[in-house]
Amino acid sequence: MLGRSLVPGGSKAIKDLEKKQKSAATRSVRDNLDSALLDIATNYRDVLVVQGGSDKILNIDLKAEISLLFVKVESWLGLILL
């Protein structure tokens, strides 16, 4: 079996590398999920700010979308309260 055996400690090095790669992949997924949830939370925070009569939203670049979401939430709440 020439060429099949690893150098001493090679197996441990491969396992360590696999563990690091798995941890990095998990971290990446968690970071992306955290970012998406934070985006959703700030959008709804901005809707609440607009509902309170202020214009000091965090997502200035999404002002039109926030206003549209505000209108949708307002009409939805109006239907519930009838």
Map residue 15 onto helix, strand or coil.
Answer: helix
Quick check: 78 and 59 in contact, CB under 8 A?
no
Structure token pair of residue 65: 């979308």
10-51: pLDDT as tens digits: 888 899 999 999 999 999 999 999 999 999 899 888 888 888
Domain contains 62:
yes
Q: Which candidate, 73, 78, 49, 76, places its Cα nearest to that of 63?
A: 49
Q: Which domain holds residue 27?
A: 10-81
Higher pLDDT, 58 or 82: 58
Domain contains 55:
yes
Residue with structure tokens 């949708």? Answer: 72
Domain contains 3:
no
Domain contains 76:
yes
Instruction: Give the chain's domain count.
Output: 1
Tell me phi and psi for residue 8, to 5 degrees.
-55, 130
